[in-house]
Structure 1
């Protein structure tokens, strides 16, 4: 299992939601809230997959956040 902690000041909630929706087909993802962070716990029966999905999901959510902020669509 991998854990991904995304700080609310850096990541838009809508970007996290979209990334989770996309990557949920590749691993089991549970979401929690801890203070200033959205915490995603990612599990997969395939060795190494949870860690790979966590890295890709974080990158994708950050990319969506940057894109939204550039276009003024930040929520």
Structure 2
């Protein structure tokens, strides 16, 4: 019997969340315990993410709104 291993996914940019969702599901099917994803920029819309059904916490360095605000301050 394989024991579950805790896995944290690392992603550069999350736009729709589809790649993270697919990776989490694939890893879970191989007995991994995936509960967290860390990304540089989270560009997902504030509601209705495809990640809602896979229950992963997203920790982002910056969200799309924060990136837009920083850009507008420089303009």
TM-score category (smaller protein) = 0.3 to 0.5
Q: What's the TM-score, normalizing by structure 1?
A: 0.34
Q: What's the TM-score, normalizing by structure 2?
A: 0.34
Specify the structure having the higher radius of gyration (Cα): 2
